[in-house]
Amino acid sequence: MRISVELSLYPLDDKFLPIIQDIVERITGDKRVEAIVNTMSTQIFGDFESVMAVVNETVEYSFRTYGKQVFVAKFLNSDVKPD
């Protein structure tokens, strides 16, 4: 099954921009998924297991590395990547 996830990160830190940049680079650099970045979120597309693994690893890394933050995720059980 293919899925789409929209992931938004809100670091609870005054120096939020480098945190967001690091997380976006980790996601876009992961070859298991396709990702599109916009000003409000990162959209992740691919196979269910791969997308969920990337989301899980990213959230865990971010929490361990950067402390308190908010992630907002929307899941769709279809790949809606624009052509």
Structural domain span for residue 36: 2-76
Closest by CA to 9, choosing from 68, 79, 51, is 68
Q: Does residue 14 belong to any structural domain of this protein?
A: yes
Q: Does residue 83 belong to any structural domain of this protein?
A: no
pLDDT at residue 58, as a whole number: 97
Q: Does residue 16 belong to any structural domain of this protein?
A: yes
pLDDT tens for the chain, 83 residues long, are: 999 999 999 999 999 999 999 999 999 999 999 999 999 999 999 999 999 999 999 999 999 999 999 999 999 998 888 77
Q: Does residue 38 belong to any structural domain of this protein?
A: yes
Task: Bin 7: left if φ > 0, else alpha if -120 < ψ < 50, else beta.
Answer: beta
| Whole-structure pTM value | 0.91
Q: Does residue 24 belong to any structural domain of this protein?
A: yes
Q: Does residue 45 belong to any structural domain of this protein?
A: yes
Q: Does residue 42 belong to any structural domain of this protein?
A: yes
Say which CATH number the domain at 63 has: 3.30.70.930
The pLDDT tens digits of the residues spanning 29-45 come to: 999 999 999 999 999 99
Q: Does residue 82 belong to any structural domain of this protein?
A: no
Query: How many domains does the chain fold into?
Result: 1
pLDDT at residue 82, as a whole number: 79
